[in-house]
Amino acid sequence: MSRFLFITDLHITTTCPVRTGNPLEDVCSKLRWCVDFVNEHDATLLLGGDIFDKPTVPLEAINMVIEVLRGCRRMPLGVWGNHDQLYRAAENNPKCALYTLASSRVIALIDDRDVEFEDCTVTNVLPLQTSSSPQIFIYHGFLNQKDGRFTVPLSDIASPSSPTLVLLGHDHIEYADLELSDSVTVVRPGSLFRNRRVETSERPPKGVYVEVSNGSISHRMVEVPARSFDSIFAVKTDGSVAPSEDVDYDKLLETLQASCGSDDLTFIDALSSVADEDVVLYCEGVVAESLQSSAR
C-alpha cells in the first residue's frame, strides 16, 4: 500500500504586515506537523506548488524549510507554482528558492514527468492517459480557468478509465470533491497558508491523505493544526485604495512582457514575483479601481 499527504500553497515568507505573530514560524509549524504525519503513516509528502511566496526569499526561510523537510523519511515530491518561478520562466528557475530545495535534495521536483511507485504512479503530465495502475496527478493550476501554463483543462483530465485522483494547487479556495467520472476525482484543499481574500479563508488549513490499495485510491481531508483565523488577523485593514489616472497599464504590461519574452505575463504576475501577497492584493485593487474609473 502506498500512502501520501498532499498540501499546497504554503506561501512561505518572513514578513506579512497584516498578520500577527511570525508568519515563517506559523507556516513551518504546520509543515512540521505534516512531516510528522507522513512519517507516522509511512507516507510521501506531495507539495502542489507556491511553496514560497516569492521566487527569492531570505536565507532564513530557505534554511528553516530545508531543516524541516530533512525530517521526512521518504523524499517529498513537488511541482513549481507561479509564485515559485521568476516571471513564470523556466530558464529563471536556478535563481529561485525552490531550486535550492531541490539542489539540497530535500524535495524532488516532478514537473512534466512520472514517478513510479510499487502500486501506483504519481504524475504531472498533461493530458492524462489511462494507466495500467492507479495514478495520482498533482498540478499547480486553476481548473478550466485560463492562466497560462497554470491551467488544467477539463478535457485534459477527464478521459482516463484507470483510477485517477487529481490534486490541484493554485486556487486558495477549498472545494467539494468533483467526480468527473467513475474513475476520475478532482480534489482542491485550498491554501495551507490562508489569507483574507477568499470566502473560505476562515476554514482550518487542510491536507489530503491518500491511500492506494488493491488497485483503488481512497482519500480524506486531514485538518492541519494552526492558530485561529481571528488571532492571525487580529490587526485588520479596510482594504480601500485610491485610484490613479496617471498610469498607462497597457504600456507597462507591454514593457514587462517584452522584458521576459512571455505574452502570458500579467502585471500582477510580475508584481507577485517581487512583492508580498498583501502588496499584490492592494495593487490589484488599485488597478481595478483605475480601470473602472477609465470605463466610466
Least trusted range by pLDDT, from 40-44, 152-156, 261-265, 291-295: 291-295
How would you classify the pairing of strands 164-169 and 114-116?
Answer: unpaired
- Statement: residue 232 has pLDDT above 70: yes
Q: What is the pLDDT of residues 172-212, one digit of tens each?
A: 999 999 999 999 999 999 999 876 656 667 889 999 999 99
Task: Concatenate the DSSP letters of all residues of 83-142 into one string.
Answer: TTSSTT-GGGGGGSHHHHHHHTTS-EE-TT-EEE-SS-EEE--SS----SS-EEEEEESE
Q: What is the pLDDT of residues 59-101, one digit of tens each?
A: 999 999 999 999 999 999 999 999 999 999 999 999 999 999 9
- What percent of the chain stands above pLDDT 90? 67
pLDDT confidence of residue 230: 82
Q: Report the distance separating Cα 191 and Cα 140, nearest Å.
A: 11
Cβ pair 286, 275 in contact under 8 A: no
pTM across the whole model: 0.81
- Statement: residue 244 has pLDDT above 50: no
- Statement: residue 269 has pLDDT above 90: no
Residue 292 main-chain phi, psi, to 5 deg: -65, -40
Q: 237: pLDDT confidence band, cut at 50, 70 and 90? A: very low
Q: Which one is predicted more confidently, 266 or 141? A: 141
Domains in the chain and their CATH numbers? 2-230 (3.60.21.10), 239-295 (no CATH)
Across the chain, mean pLDDT equals 86
Type of residue at 1: M
CA dist 66 → 24, 48, 94, 102 (Å): 13, 17, 17, 10
